[in-house]
Structure 1
Amino acid sequence: MSNVEATPAELVCGSTAGHHPVEVLTPRDVPLGGPRAMSVRRTLPQRERTMIGAWCFADHYGPDDVSETGGMDVAPHPHTGLQTASWLFTGEIEHRDSLGVHALVRPGELNLMTGGSGICHSEVSTPTTTTLHGVQLWIALPDADRDAPRAFQHHVPSPIPLEGAVVRVFLGTLCGDTSPVPTHTPLLGAELVLDKDARLALDVDPTFEHGVLVDQGSATLNGTPLKRGELGYAPTGPTKLHLHNPGDDPARLVLLGGTPFGEEIVMWWNFVGRTHEEIVRFRDEWQAESDRFGRVEGYPGNRLPAPPLPTGRLRPRGNPH
């Protein structure tokens, strides 16, 4: 998914973990463009916290009535220095990229695209989709791998039944299940569905920081209440995460985790780089239709132009210590 804000914030991000109670990050609504645009709820990045492990971007959307919003139609747009992870709960999205991949994103299936030194792609909800509901996530690539070649991977995790819950692990390891999809830094990504009044104590890597996004219902993370759309952040240190669904209906959560990233990154629009000058170069190359990004074949429309750069130099914003 593209960040289609007209004036996207410029960010220099660095992930540092401290021994703090659970932080509750509230989302902000961002329209995807157009007169009847569907909107997304963005919890990463924000001023309070810019990264969780290498996870640097989280958009949560739906359930969205496509007949009212027109659904998703994101024209070809570029990425550098990151991976995109698409995870749906309802609906279907058609993905096309400059690697030549033409794939469908379906509920319960991970589609992971590696941008590396440059890629472009489009995302369009299919004609049969009536309700669209899911998350779009970005993963920052470490300096050693940020020029990795373009790649695309697909994985369908098996459900893991637990007492009062079902878990699907799409990246990393949890509950004895390991995703076969490799990552460039230690990461965790999973969907959890908790029954009414279910309590879950998850064994986790104490070197990881974690985030729990509430998709539906409500939940508590280590005793801290979280409402729908909120993201709870837990720092490194604990060997368990304690989750509880206090509601009368099932609660669906997305669990993200990873070791603190340990590098500063500059993130603006759809680019992840290391310096102001690098971001400027990426933007110029996209506007000039450089071979760096390639071309998307089969999308019936024009590519997405880059927004204007801010008038000042890109400024640092990092996680609190």
Structure 2
Amino acid sequence: MSDLDTHPTVRECGGRDDVSAAPVRELIPGREAHIGGSSAVRRVLPTLGRRMVGPWCFLDHYGPDDISARDGMQVAPHPHIGLQTVSWLREGEILHRDSVGSLATVLPGSLGLMTSGRGIAHSEESPVPHPAMLHGVQLWVALPDADRDTDPCFDLHTELPTFEARGLRGTVIMGEVDGSASPGRAYSPIAGAELALDADADVRLPLERDFEYAVVATGPGAVVDDVPLPVGSLLYLGCGRDDLRVRTDSASDLILVGGEPFAEKIVMWWNFVGRSHDEIVRARAQWQAEERFGEVHGYHAPRLAAPEMPATPLKPRGRAR
């Protein structure tokens, strides 16, 4: 998925200076943004209050939307560097195409994992025909410096491990949660899971004490660490937790993200994660010149043009404002 903002904000992220070593309860509402096809999304990372959680640097929650009379998601070819995209659906279908020749349909419960490495282009669309409803999340993971120039690739994992507690069924999307590990390749210590909760559930989820965590409400009714979560909000939890209490009044769903605090400082602009202003400028110029990123075949519309660079230089800074 692309950041389709025509005047994207410079986001300077990373570093450990602002990571809470103790548990916190920082509730951050999502802000409305738009993706291709005019579908509204709730953007919870990065936001004014929080830029990263572990290596996670971007998270959009979209839907549930009735797209039965619409085209649904339509995101034309666009580039990425320095990150992995994680596509996770609760309802609907997304057709993925990319410049290394991948053509795959992401379905609910399967992990679409694209590693951009030194550079890749891709498109995403609701296929024709498509299911009536569309609901999911799109996340980005910043690649550490040692792996930023890895070969680009796309992997579709259709069988993911699950874990259960009374009133809870979890699916591990990335990393390891409660002793179950995702097959998705990770380049940093990371955790990501979908938590499906029955009505009146009251459970404690084991966590890694050295990881920082957050949860995102993709459905109503969840109370996490005694904090009620509105749909589309993020609750930042900090580090230093051995477990996490989650309870519900009605059936609900959450996305858990976490990982070892990301020590490197990064610059994120448009669809690029880099380390310096010059690196971002160079990647933008190469995309505009149709260099470096290859070509996406089969999408029905022209590729996206890059926005203009901001007037001030991009500088890497900390992970929270």
Normalised to the residue count of structure 2, the TM-score between the two structures is 0.95
Query: Is the contact made by 1:222 and 1:242 (CA closer than 8 Å) also made in structure 2?
Result: yes
Counterpart for residue 58 of structure 1: 59
| 2:82–2:118 CA contact under 8 A, matched in 1 | yes
The match for 1:175 is: 178
8 Å contact kept, 1:87–1:108: yes
Residue 68 (structure 1) shift = 5.1
In structure 2, the residue matched to 1:223 is: 226
Deviates more, 1:130-139 or 1:177-186: 177-186
Partner of 2:303: 303
User: What is the correspondence of 1:153-164 to structure 2 with a 5 Å cutoff?
Assistant: 153-155=155-157, 156-164=159-167
Say if 1:47 and 1:317, in contact at 8 Å, map to a contact too.
Answer: no
RMSD: 1.5
Please give the per-residue CA displacement for 1:266-286, whole angstroms capped at 9, x wherever unaligned.
000000000011101100000
Deviations 1:259-301 (A, max 9, x none): 00001000000000000111011000000000x1111111122
SS at match of 1:94: strand
- 26, 31, 41: which one aligns with 1:28: 31
Please show how residues 282-293 of structure 1 align to structure 2 within 5 Å. Answer: 282-290=283-291, 292-293=292-293
Q: Which residue of 2 aligns with 1:143?
A: 145
Is 2:195 the partner of 1:195? no
1:159 shift after superposition: 3.7
The alpha-carbon deviation at position 21 of structure 1 amounts to 1.9
Deviation at 1:174, TM superposition (A): 1.5
Q: After the TM superposition, which of the residue ranges 73-82 and 39-48 deviates more from structure 2?
A: 39-48
Equivalent position of 2:92 in the other structure: 91
Which residue identity does 2:79 align to in structure 1? Answer: P
Q: Is 1:233 aligned to 2:242, yes or no?
A: no
1:20 Cα deviation from its structure 2 partner: 5.1
How many Å apart are 1:244 and its aligned residue? 1.2
TM (norm. structure 1) is: 0.95
Cα displacement (A) at 1:183: 0.7
CA contact (8 A) 2:12 2:318 kept: yes
Please say if 1:120 is aligned against 2:101: no
Q: Secondary structure at the match of 1:76?
A: strand
Unaligned segments of structure 1, at least 5 residues: none
1:52 counterpart SS class: coil
Question: Is the alpha carbon distance of 1:320 and 1:136 closer, same or farther for their aligned partners in structure 2, counting shifts above 3 Å?
Answer: closer
State the secondary structure of the residue aligned to 1:211.
Answer: strand
Check conservation: 2:275, 2:316, Cα contact below 8 A: no
SS in 1 for 2:24: coil
SS at match of 1:152: strand
1:218 Cα shift? 2.4
Aligned to 2:258: 257
Tell whether 2:177 aligns with 1:166.
no
Q: Which runs of 4+ in 1 moved over 4 A?
A: none
Q: Offset of 1:40 from its aligned partner?
A: 0.8
In 1, Cα distance between equivalents of 2:162 and 2:239: 27
Q: Partner amino acid for 2:40? A: S
Note the C-alpha offset of 1:317. 5.1
C-alpha separation between the residues in 2 aligned to 1:87 and 1:2?
A: 15
